Structure 1
Amino acid sequence: MDCKKINGVNIFAPSSREELIDFALKNHSLLVAVNAEKILHATEQLRDIINRNVGYPDGVGAIMALNKQGVSGVVKVPGCELWLDIISLLYKHKSFYLVGGKDVVVQKTVTKLQQDFPGINIVNFRNGYLRSQNDKSSLLDDISEKKPDVVFVAMGSPKQELLMEEMNQRHKALYQGLGGSFDVYIGNVKRAPKWWVRNNLEWLFRLLTEPSRIKRQIHLVRFWVMLKFRLF
């Protein structure tokens, strides 16, 4: 699987989701979603986190940047879909651990997963509020004891990636950070309709439904300009 550095950020270029999942599973990888915003605004800390792990193209901006680097045949891999692809491919013979969200959110997520994937082996789960070092130590100990094959952490970047790196030092597994994907899965947050997603216009749908995002979206214009004139 090819990998290119764009504005200091390493981005892997999978030709299919299955290729990315297979690679991550075999290498006990920590998967980090990369989009135009992260490429443009990555802090030194976040850039280092991505480059230590497996950054994958979560948005059309990352795909365009890879294409500019001469990489063709790359597929967009939305993180809010990837974790469900992982479960769909592996749930019959792998085990899972979920961390993130409020108690009610993670509980509803687990219940829905058990309905959608009968027989799924979720060895444990907990909310994403680690209020003390004891909370974190207990989680790390539990991960080490339960030894899940796949761990999903929904806490937002870079908090979730830093926690996953600590987990991975204690127990090797496939790790993926999910941000707010639990809320999307259980219906608390509405994702763009399929037509918008299919035509790479999810960013526009979110802008139209959340006008307050305009300040963030303006930065994307800068990204397109820098990409067009090869300023990365």
Structure 2
Amino acid sequence: MMNKGKHAICGVHIAAVDYEAAVQQITNAAHHNEPYAVSALAVHGVMTGYLDIEHRRRLNGLDLVVPDGQPVKWGLNLLHKTGLKERVYGPELTLRVAEAAAKEHLPIYLYGSKLETLERFERNLRERFQGLQIAGKEASKFRKVTSDEKMAIISRIKASGAQIVFVGLGCPRQEVWVFEYRDLLAMPLLAVGAAFDFHAGTLKQAPPWMQQRGLEWFYRFLQEPRRLWKRYMVLNPLYVFTLLGEMTGVRRIPALLPTGRETEQSFG
């Protein structure tokens, strides 16, 4: 098990952990009914924090941000000599947490995406992990929620008996959600994004050889070029240049911390 602490990449604190350490921290918080906000960030997520100071504060207010993308893992190794051998890929982390939840009798809740996707995701999880308790599921409203709606969401999750929530609202909305709801729900909240679609079978994952070489972004770009072109054609090169600036000492990006949990971007 590897846990070498948090280190800043482009001003965002990323935990130099492996799967085992990440799963252990999440399940420990679940057993102790402790608030615990988690996200798995690839380059897009890191650069969203770099470009938006307020969002950077939110990301640095999460309890655990793992290196979802190979370039993020490479950045940790290059800048901070962490010696990580593998990334902690959000969809894989989702499966490992679900497996641990089944073994340790920790009910989970699925929040986000479309109802059809949730139903397929739930069915596939139940088939894969015998004994997994799915306490409830709730589709995204695909808009900002009101204060009353927010309190109702909190009440439904609490009443379900869930001890872990998987959140799939897309980056950066899901990170905003887990940041804002962290102190309102005494359980781990995992922003896992595309894991919902991947494990529901509605979106294909890149082949392993592309994932290992940091080319997953290119595979996804080919699937959805109109939606993703800016994310990859602009943010990927910017990440490289920013990382080089940090490595050479030309640029220092402050790892700002949050001042509170309220946000005007509540999305549900």
* Same fold by TM-score greater than 0.5: yes
Distance 2:175 2:39 in 1: 8
Q: Which runs of 5+ in 1 are unaligned?
A: none
What is the deviation of 1:216? 2.9
* Alignment CA distance shift 1:117-1:148 (3 Å): same
Q: 1:156-171 to 2 correspondence within 5 Å?
A: 156-171=170-185
2:21 counterpart (19, 22, 30): 19
Higher RCO, 1 vs 2 (CA within 8 Å, ≥6 residues apart) = 2
AA partner of residue 45 (structure 1): E
- Percent sequence identity over aligned pairs: 25
- After the TM superposition, which residues 102-141 of structure 1 pair with which residues of structure 2 at under 5 Å, given as runs? 102-129=114-141, 132-141=146-155
SS at match of 2:14: strand
Q: Which residue of 2 aligns with 1:9?
A: 12
Distance 1:90 1:71, change over 3 A: same
Q: Where do 5+ consecutive residues of structure 2 fail to align?
A: 253-268
Q: CA RMSD in A?
A: 2.2
Match of 1:223 in 2: 239
Name the aligned partner's letter for residue 46 of structure 1.
Answer: H
Matched, 1:49 2:58: yes
Q: Is the 8 Å Cα contact of residues 65 and 227 (structure 1) preserved in structure 2? A: yes
Provide Cα deviations, 1:44-90, integer angstroms capped at 9, x if missing partner. 22211211112110111211211122221353011122111111122
2:43 pairs with 1:36: yes
Retained in 1: the 8 A contact 2:168–2:194? yes
Separation in structure 1 between the aligned mates of residue 154 and residue 137 of structure 2, nearest angstrom: 12
Letter in 2 for 1:39: V
Is 1:72 aligned with 2:86?
A: no
Give the TM-score normalised by the residue count of structure 1: 0.88
Give the match's secondary structure for 2:39.
Answer: strand
Is residue 101–residue 108 contact of structure 2 (8 Å, CA) maintained in 1? Answer: no
Letter in 2 for 1:183: D
Q: Secondary structure at the match of 2:13?
A: strand
Distance in 2 separating the partners of 1:217 and 1:227: 16
Corresponding residue SS for 1:97 = strand
